[in-house]
Amino acid sequence: MKYNYRLFLSLCLLTFSTISIDGWCFQSSDSSTQGRQQRVVADGATPRLIAKQFAFTEGPTVDKKGNIFFTDQPNDKIWKYDTEGNLSLFMEKAGRSNGMYFDKKGNLISCADEKNELWAIDPDKNVTVLLSDFRGKLLNGPNDVWVHPKRGLYFTDPLYKRPWWTATTERLPTERVYYLPKNQKQPIPVDSTIKKPNGIIGSPDGKTLYVADIGASKTYKYHIEKDGTLSHRQLFAEMGSDGMTIDKEGNLYLTGKGVTVFNKNGKKIDHIDIPEGWSANVCIGGKNRDQLFVTASTAVYTVPLKVKGVGSK
């Protein structure tokens, strides 16, 4: 049987990455589906201003329905942006809440910065204090939190002195990442070597944790062990982050000067400029879980995405 190898090779390069025939193996150097990075932002989309009436926005997180909750920390309030586009006040006197995340029961887990605590806020706004100290000493200031899908939660504890602090109790000398097992009153330090831990998020399967060292301008990736401890730390990106989120494709969204997106291999694939310049935190919500929600100083924005977000289910 005769083959037109020149025509055959051309077709391989256009349509296949690897193919073999009669013992020959041909591999394209650049296929249409290989080596090409896709942007996550919807074509032609730009940030849309939702509101600009706050002192400093933080802690966005999404509930089971796609509604987004975020904080205005200096004004001690938690706000709700629902799937219909309505903005409403959810809670006042919110413990100076900072980072937040919903658990499977619908409780809003909050880094209550006023007294350096962790709170669980139920849908009726009843508060349960989950954590108030570490071995009798004040935490530096729980900043951001992620709830594991099957067991406890992880949080960062950097020191940022607040004007509302009045307590003179001795604080911890080390800024750490902690794991708080379910139904426990004391957390376990899981990384004490990071300069200033800040943003934190985990993969939906509960196997991987990402932590930003905003003090060293780095973000790390860890394997989560069955007992909740961390192992196999590796550098994920040469960039720190204030807050962060993850989508269903495994892309990581880091904040600071706008929003920078890295794929699951740590390669930068997109960047979103925000008019305010500084972006404190992000989450992905909305009816279809395809709206990136950005807390940007005095304002909040949404950006349509091509990909879907993850959250409590």
**The model's pTM:** 0.86
pLDDT in tens, the chain (313 residues): 444 434 433 434 344 333 333 333 333 333 333 334 579 999 999 999 999 999 999 999 999 999 999 999 999 999 999 999 999 999 999 999 999 999 999 999 999 999 999 999 999 999 999 999 999 899 999 999 999 999 999 999 999 888 888 766 667 889 999 999 999 999 999 999 999 999 999 999 999 999 999 999 999 999 999 999 999 999 999 999 999 999 999 999 999 999 999 999 999 999 999 999 899 999 999 999 999 999 999 999 999 999 999 854 4
CATH 2.120.10.30 placement within the chain? 38-304
User: Which residues have C-beta within 8 Å of that of residue 97, sequence separation ≥ 6?
Assistant: 58, 59, 71, 73, 76, 78, 110, 111, 112, 113, 119
Secondary structure class of 3 (helix, strand, coil) = coil
CA-based end-to-end distance of the chain: 58
Place of tokens 């426990």: 184
Superfamily in which the 38-304 domain is placed by CATH: TolB, C-terminal domain (2.120.10.30)
